[in-house]
Chains A and B, each alone.
Chain A
Amino acid sequence: MDIEDPPILTAVSSSARQLYLLLRCITSSTKAHVQISEEGLKFSVDEASIMEASAFLDKSLFTTYNFNPPTPQRNPQQSDDSEDEDLDPPNTTPTFQISLPALLETLQIFGLTDPNTTKQSWQTSAAFSNNVLGMNNLCRISYNSLGAPLSIILTEASVRTQCDLTTYEPEYSEDIPFNRQALAFKTIMRGSWLHDALSELSSTSPEQLTMYAKTVRGKPFFALSSSGTLGSARVEFNNQPQPSAFRTPASTNLAAGAGTGTDAGEQAPTNLLETFQLLDPDTVLRSSYKFSLIQKAARAMSVATKVSIRVDDQGVLSLQFMVEVEGGASGVGTSSGGGKVSFIDFRFVPLVEDGDEEGEGVDETMMQYGDGSDSGTGREDEDML
């Protein structure tokens, strides 16, 4: 069989660490779906069908990437899942599940031995050490045939580690539908700002996170508000940095939680919100999500250079993170050198608004504050908004 069919996938990366850093962002559950396609490897995890996260390892991350779509006839040994076979043939992207923690641990094996090899002189001299030559992290991923284990082979100096990850049948799960055509809201900002905001809010261990977006006199306004048993807090993002020094106190007045003035406008002379599109600029977009789920994206936020926040007309939230991976392999690879960009996606199903008083209350407060600042408290805010 090996001779007849070339392996479905052979991919070589010169930096296992790169892959590790990307995959670490989506680590939340034990099993991950892997989808192999012509363009690259997609790893995805989902949480009770209300959150899903995926990391796409583009083939440009690999120095070698060979994908041979499996032939429609499947191996006879997989007779027990005839339903899947009926479904699969038109779809030539092999999908399976693997243990994500196991994969991450494997990719990290180098993290352990690297410092040792640099420290110890039993190896060759420093000038020719594998670290200097950039050879230390060679990582080969291969998938021979449907049902075969996913093999990760890491080579370092005279140690070769091979990990065969058992591949499991994919679970039947529907993607969270996200309608790109009907976006209610879209904004782009720095990942670290979102991360800062979220860590500010997390201090009260809230249960839900509500997102507000509106346009006030043509200027974008975006706020994250958390609420839980210990209280609520809000972080606001306003575009248009204010030249006035009074701006900051005014905006802390605005923030419901006193300490939450992560008003990154101070740090950023440029526009805080790079893009700001609101389908209906006349209304306030409000959408709530489970805080603990959003928090699972925290690691991605911390490493991402940019994040695109999108909400569709159903309230489904998509967070797309652009991660610039360190150029470990850039010199060797087929890519254009420099920093390569990878994307990590998160999707969240909104919490259903029961239209109860509490929810309304939040909205009202919000509106009050908004109105208040607009009309009275600060001229500066008025200008800003």
Chain B
Amino acid sequence: MRFKASIQNITTFTKLTASLNSLGPLAWVKLSEEQVCFTIIPEQGTQVWAVLSIDSIFRDIFVQSAANNVINLEVPLTSLNRALKSALNATSAQIRLTKKDNMPMLALTIVTTASSNALPPATANNDDGFDAPFDDEFGRGNRETIVTQEIPVRVLAPDTVAGLHEPQCRDPDVHIVLPPLMQLKSISDRFTKLALADTKSGSGTIASRTRLELAANMHGCLKMSIRTDALSISSVWTDLNNPELDPSQVVGGENGIAAHPSTRMKQLGSADGRSDEGWALVRIDGRDWGKVMSVGRLGGRVIACFCHEHALVLYVYLPQDDGDNESVLTYYVSSYSA
């Protein structure tokens, strides 16, 4: 079982692990030469199933195993994130699977060039790291620091992960492109704070009072609201985009779209968000939502799929230089009952 790769985009990888880490401490990482999958299944809260194209974080990947060249690992995200943070200024970084005292480890080798005055800073900031190794190898009189961070991991047998499946969800009632997540987060955090500020005077558990209601319609509206004894507050975004369904992706093609729940939802509601009809609503925990929103730092496009009173599925598309291999993070947030 062998795995070795250069990290192409340390910043993205760091941000990714940081936002995943907010949802759970352990990730199931599935490595193959085509893609790398990060899956977080916390005991409670939001599940993440992220599928990343190799070149969004890695380069020169080599994966070899007895099981169809797929390696499954259980990785502690806090350690991984901490290790990656120390690599933020690195000229290059490499990750590979090793063994130490019979313990499997992910070894992160970070090469940093101590910048002497003579060194043009461009080398250090060279994002794709293409020239850097050569410069370093042939030496320009720079001192090179190599740091290796080892992260203990657990290798998961194919049988172990065979039982893990991505949640199945019925066709969403509403799908909508979310406004910038950081904006959404700032408002939802404020809502949660409002609800908690009221704690002293009211009753009920903390979990029940930070319950956000999130709803959207097929007319470009998103509504976020929270209710406490003292107030009920809601923010409505309008003029958002409801992407059209692609007939080739829907079971049954054109007919499938005609029968799709979202087509029915289009008949209801209005674009100014004032109508009571046509909303697909989910109830989520405000603090959990805040954690999900932290993926906003990756700056991707987010499509939210609402299954009324059932679940919310977020597809976060990472910004990609080449449009071919899209990386997508899928968040499954289940709705609380009323």
Contact = CB atoms under 8 A, between A and B. Distances in A.
B2 to A, nearest CB: 44
Chain A binding surface SS class: mixed
Interface in B125-181: 179-180
A126 interface: no
Given A112-B187, A120-B180, A122-B180, A160 B233 contact: no
Nearest to A109: B190
A30 B182 CA distance: 30
B182 A116 contact: yes
A158 B197 CA distance: 27
A30 B201 contact: yes
Contact of B238 (A30, A122, A158): A158
A163 B186 contact: no
Given A113-B186, A116-B182, A158 B237 contact: yes
A159 B197 contact: no
A102 B237 contact: no
A166 B187 CA distance: 20
Nearest to A106: B233
A105 B196 CA distance: 12
A159 B230 contact: no
Chief secondary structure at chain B's binding surface: mixed
B233 A166 contact: no
Interface in A136-186: 149, 158-166
Contacts of A241: none
B156 to A, nearest CB: 40
Contacts of A327: none
B115 interface: no
Interface in B185-202: 186-187, 190, 193-194, 197-198, 200-201
Contacts of A149: 231-232
Contacts of A109: 187, 190, 235
A164 B236 contact: no
Contact of B233 (A116, A117, A164): A164
A378 interface: no
Contacts of A116: 180, 182-183, 186
Contacts of B239: 158
Given A99-B231, A102-B230, A158-B238, A112 B190 contact: yes
Given A30-B201, A116-B182, A160-B238, A102 B231 contact: yes
Contacts of B232: 149, 163-164, 166
B229 interface: yes
A109 B234 CA distance: 11
Interface string A80-108: 00000000000000000011011001101
* Residue in A112, A113, A122, A166 whose Cβ sees the most chain B Cβ within 10 Å: A113
A163 B235 CA distance: 8
Contact of B197 (A105, A160, A161, A166): A105
Contacts of A98: 230
A113 B231 contact: no
Contacts of B235: 109, 159-162
B229 to A, nearest CB: 7
Interface in A233-278: none
Interface in B213-230: 228-230
**Which residue of A109, A122, A158, A164 has the most chain B CB atoms within 10 A of its CB atom?**
A158
A164 B180 contact: no
A149 B239 CA distance: 28
B278 interface: no
B190 A160 contact: no
A106 B234 CA distance: 10
B273 interface: yes
A101 B200 CA distance: 12
Output the residue of A98, A102, A120, A165 with the most chain B CB within 10 A. Answer: A102
Contacts of A159: 179, 183, 187, 235-237
A28 to B, nearest CB: 15
B237 A105 contact: no
Contacts of A30: 200-201
A117 B194 CA distance: 22
Nearest to A164: B232
A164 B229 CA distance: 11
A113 B230 contact: no
Contacts of B237: 158-159
B231 A163 contact: yes
Interface in B55-71: none
A105 B193 contact: yes
Nearest to B230: A99
Contact of A99 (B179, B198, B234, B273): B198
A98 B228 CA distance: 13
Given A116-B180, A122-B180, A160-B238, A101 B197 contact: yes
A149 B232 CA distance: 9
Interface in B230-251: 230-240
B229 A166 contact: yes
B187 A164 contact: no
A112 B235 CA distance: 13
Contact of B198 (A102, A106, A122, A158): A102
A163 B230 contact: no
A116 B183 CA distance: 7
Contacts of A161: 187, 233-236
A108 B190 CA distance: 9
A160 B273 CA distance: 9
A258 B329 CA distance: 65
Contacts of A102: 194, 197-198, 228, 230-231, 233
Interface of B: 179-180, 182-183, 186-187, 190, 193-194, 197-198, 200-201, 228-240, 273
Given A102-B233, A105-B190, 16 more contacts: A102-B197, A102-B198, A105-B194, A106-B233, A109-B235, A116-B186, A117-B183, A160-B238, A161-B187, A161-B233, A162-B234, A163-B233, A163-B234, A164-B231, A164-B233, A166-B232
28 contacts: A99-B198, A99-B230, A99-B231, A101-B197, A102-B194, A102-B197, A102-B231, A105-B197, A106-B231, A106-B233, A108-B190, A112-B186, A112-B190, A113-B186, A116-B183, A116-B186, A149-B232, A158-B240, A159-B179, A159-B236, A160-B235, A161-B187, A162-B236, A164-B232, A164-B233, A165-B230, A166-B229, A166-B232
Interface of A: 30, 98-99, 101-102, 105-106, 108-109, 112-113, 116-117, 120, 122, 149, 158-166
